[in-house]
Amino acid sequence: MTDIFNRYFMNNILIRIDDLRLRNGLSKAALAKKIDVAPLTISNWYKMDTMPSLIVLDRICKIFGITIEQFFSDTELLSKSNLEDIFLYNWRLLNEKEKMVIDDILELMLRKKDKINDRCS
């Protein structure tokens, strides 16, 4: 479970960085230059070999005019049109067993929703 959480957490950091970067028209190389890291460093983040330190995340936040607190808590940082892409990206990171668990959870949620709708009708 820890591995799933770590991948999810790391992936969400990258999604937030991408959203900020793309909305501001920056390439990964341009971002690397602005935050004073090697382009290879950013490449390693996307391979999930390493992740940005808090110091680097703070630099990223300053470039985009937000606080570290906003980076981690502001859901509005993510544009609504990216939510399906985010889901699909996360889905692709899961192994088959993890996907089966998510499918089971979704099925249970849909059954519960149907029961609630039946009661309200």
Cβ contact 45:51 at 8 Å: yes
Would 32 be classed as within a structural domain? Answer: yes
- 71-91: pLDDT as tens digits: 888 555 555 555 666 677 777
pTM over 0.85: no
Full residue range of the structural domain in which residue 46 is found: 2-95
Cβ-defined contacts of 85-93 (< 8 Å, 24+): 86/15, 89/11, 89/15, 90/8, 90/11, 93/7, 93/11
Residue listed under structure tokens 């049109």 = 81
Residue 88 within a domain: yes
CATH no. for residue 80? Answer: 1.10.260.40
Q: Is residue 110 part of a domain?
A: no
Give a yes or no: residue 111 inside a domain.
Answer: no
pLDDT by residue, tens only, the chain of 121 residues: 456 667 777 888 998 899 899 888 999 999 999 999 999 999 999 888 888 999 999 999 999 998 888 888 855 555 555 566 667 777 777 889 988 998 899 899 998 888 888 888 7
Q: How many domains does the chain have?
A: 1
Residue 102 has, within 13 A of its CA and on its CB side, a CA count of 14
In a domain, 117, yes or no: no
Is 114 part of a structural domain of the chain? no
d(CA 36, CA 20): 17
